[in-house]
């Protein structure tokens, strides 16, 4: 049984009401996305609120966190309320598709750890299935919505499995969003890339391509780069 909470250095994530628990993907994106200059941030599919809270810790931005699932919204609301940054995070219980069509806001940074298991068997339970699969939010919905809501110099940052990430880069270019930074996430040295951390902007720039190895050798023996990226959050680093 998964823990009902996950404690970080500056905040705690309660996750008993939320289908998808704290995982490496969310922590990676929350630590990796560039937010230094962002004044407005949108977190698509916030779930427990993990990424929104990480970005609140790393910046002074005003953050909107959107989530369609009511139970997950209750969970995120609790986690935001108990944090030091509650006055800078707003929770929106709505589909991203509707929000993108209705809001007039523009964002300096949009982030998402999306439901990307498009080709896998559906998980048992409707709530967990919605969280893991793209039935309610497809990748092209993220692209079309982000292209509307990004400020001219804004950034979209997302984490995806390798194959979906490669396809997403192609589809994004068709929407006028160009990949300017890519980090290939490897679980250990010489392993295949499992995840892509991707950054998109509306203007083509010099492409930055890097690797990030999570474990340097034995289980839980983390690489220096991974520790440097996440040390402001994990208690054990």
CA dihedral 91, 95, 101, 107 (to 10 degrees): 40
Is 106 within the bounds of a domain?
yes
Is 119 within the bounds of a domain?
yes
pLDDT value at position 120? 36
Is 57 within the bounds of a domain?
yes
Is 212 within the bounds of a domain?
yes
Residue 21: count other Cβ atoms within 10 Å of its Cβ.
18
pLDDT digits (tens, 9 = 90+) for 150-182: 999 999 999 999 999 999 999 999 999 999 999
Is 203 within the bounds of a domain?
yes
Total number of domains in the chain: 1
The average pLDDT across 60-88 equals 96
Provide the pairing of β-strand 12-14 with 5-7: antiparallel
Domain harbouring 200, CATH code: 3.40.50.150
**Radius of gyration (Cα) for the chain, nearest Å?**
17
pLDDT digits (tens, 9 = 90+) for 21-41: 899 999 999 999 999 999 999
The average pLDDT across 140-146 equals 93
Cβ burial, residue 221 (10 Å; 0-12/13-18/19+) = exposed
Is 121 within the bounds of a domain?
yes
pLDDT value at position 148? 97
Is 236 within the bounds of a domain?
no
Domain residues for the domain of 174 are 5-230
């Amino acid at each position: 049984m998964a823990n009902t909470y996950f404690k970080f250095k500056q905040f705690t994530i309660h996750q008993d009401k939320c289908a998808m628990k704290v995982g490496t993907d969310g922590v990676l994106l929350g630590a990796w996305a560039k937010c230094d200059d962002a004044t407005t941030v949108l977190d698509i599919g916030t779930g427990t609120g993990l990424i929104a809270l990480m970005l609140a810790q790393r910046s002074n931005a005003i953050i909107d966190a959107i989530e369609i699932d009511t139970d997950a919204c209750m969970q995120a609301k609790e986690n935001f309320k108990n944090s030091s940054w509650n006055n800078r995070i707003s929770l929106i219980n709505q589909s991203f598709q509707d929000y993108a069509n209705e809001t007039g806001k523009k964002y300096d940074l949009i982030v998402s750890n999306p439901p990307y298991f498009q080709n896998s068997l559906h998980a048992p339970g409707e709530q967990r299935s919605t969280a893991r699969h793209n039935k309610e939010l497809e990748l092209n919905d993220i692209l079309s919505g982000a292209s509307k809501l990004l400020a001219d110099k804004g950034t979209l940052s997302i984490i995806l499995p390798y194959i979906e990430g490669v396809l997403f880069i192609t589809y994004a270019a068709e929407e006028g969003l160009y990949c300017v930074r890519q980090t290939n996430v490897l679980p250990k040295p010489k392993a295949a890339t499992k995840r892509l951390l991707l950054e998109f902007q509306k203007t083509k720039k010099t492409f930055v391509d890097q690797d990030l190895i999570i474990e340097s050798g034995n289980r839980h023996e983390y690489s220096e780069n991974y520790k440097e990226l996440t040390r402001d959050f994990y208690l054990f680093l």
